[in-house]
Chains A and B, each alone.
Chain A
Amino acid sequence: MTLAFDAILIATVLAVAGWTIAARETFAAVIGFVAYGLLLALVWVRLAAPDVALTEAAIGGGVTGVLLLGGAARLRGVVAAPDAWPAATLRLAAAALSATVAAALAAVVLLLPDPAPTLAPEALASLPATGLGNPVNGVLMAYRALDTLHEKVVLVLALIGVWSLAADRAWGGIPGQRRPTRRDDALVFLARLLPPVGIVIGVYLLWAGADEPGGAFQGGALLAAMWLLAMMAGLVTLPAVSSRWLRLALVAGPALFLAIGLAGFVIADAFLAYPEAWAKPLIIVIEIALVLSIAATLGLLVAGPPEQAPPR
């Protein structure tokens, strides 16, 4: 029974992936990509990796989908005609390269010895020292904290990249195009009803992440989604990118993470090390700051570069 379910799921994922590549319209391809992300989240659930599934649904299906939809909407007037597509040889070369990478990855996975080499027992054995109950969070915030720190810094760098696309006159101004004045009643209704629920679930994901599937990234993505919903409905106006508190919110997470990491030289024995008695409270404090920065960064990434002149 589960085998039949898995087979159908895999066939659907492959079919949606193929359809996304083959789709001629940008908009249709983006819809295919979102469906693909959600199906992939189901695959992760079947592989007993609920943390990855939550991230895939929130980032792969949600935030990336909205980013690509925004891109597709901006390209609507200037999409190249089908005959202006890249030459067949170029497309064939791209297909061959992708197929080679896929085949190599498949070979690596299939050639793994059985049982596959794993660090899971060591990770579980050291987990009590961090005070956390969720081994995934232990890896993210303790064993491989350096990777997580880099990841959050990269997110801020990506936002700086988006902001740098601003025209000179709009620099320091409000992100995104001016919203149409006519409000959509249905969207306004949703944007009033859903955020109270979404904010509670986002904070819950952050808090539960210490011991159960969840964490700062998933919670932050959900908070960003609620902000975006209110933004799209025209219920909130975005702050100008020159606003000081906005910039503080963006760097609060990575900066606090780095500061506590540096303090590790003094209070523990290495960079990004926590003294054992303080590990869990420190990790929670870092995650609270991170969730704020992640939500702000993801929301502003979707909002785009500043396009309206700064307020005088």
Chain B
Amino acid sequence: MSLDVFSLLAIAAGAFFFLAGTVGLLRFPDALTRLHALTKADNLGLGLVVLGLLPRVDWPLGALKLIVIWLVVLLAGATVGQLIARVARQARPSP
């Protein structure tokens, strides 16, 4: 029961961060701030969703798989964020 509540809270919090990231993507004024909203919120959102799912899968293999998925997404998100930001900064007219 308490584990269910924990899962629910963590996944709901994760979904909230995804929502916040999407709102940021749509509302922020330029590429760099949009990227910031997207990568930060998604990394945290996915982390919370994984945290919420951990009590519901087999320990240790299922849980480790989920954690590895989160780590790989963190790595990919951080790298792609850097790459897009670099292109965006070069394309932007200097102030």
Q: A: which residues have CB within 8 A of B?
A: 184, 186-187, 189-190, 193-194, 197
Contacts and interface: CB of A to CB of B under 8 A. Distances in A.
B72 A190 contact: no
A146 B83 CA distance: 44
Contacts of B64: none
A189 B72 contact: no
A187 B75 contact: no
16 contacts: A184-B83, A184-B86, A186-B78, A186-B79, A186-B82, A186-B83, A186-B86, A187-B79, A187-B83, A189-B79, A190-B75, A190-B79, A193-B75, A194-B72, A194-B75, A197-B72
Interface residues of B, number: 8
A41 to B, nearest CB: 15
Interface of B: 72, 75-76, 78-79, 82-83, 86
Contacts of B72: 194, 197
A190 B73 CA distance: 12
A42 to B, nearest CB: 15
Which are the 3 A-B pairs with shortest beta-carbon distances?
A: A186-B82, A190-B79, A186-B79
A186 B79 CA distance: 6
Contacts of B82: 186
Contacts of A184: 83, 86
Nearest to A185: B82
Nearest to A186: B82
Contacts of B79: 186-187, 189-190
A230 to B, nearest CB: 14
Given A184-B86, A186-B79, A190-B76, 10 more contacts: A184-B83, A186-B78, A186-B82, A186-B86, A187-B79, A189-B79, A190-B75, A193-B75, A194-B72, A194-B75
Most chain B beta-carbon contacts within 10 A, residue among A186, A189, A197 = A186
Contacts of A197: 72
Contacts of A193: 75
Nearest to A188: B79
Contacts of A190: 75-76, 79
A190 to B, nearest CB: 4
Nearest to B85: A186
B73 to A, nearest CB: 12
A197 B65 CA distance: 13
A186 B83 CA distance: 7
A251 B75 CA distance: 35
A191 to B, nearest CB: 9
A190 B71 CA distance: 13
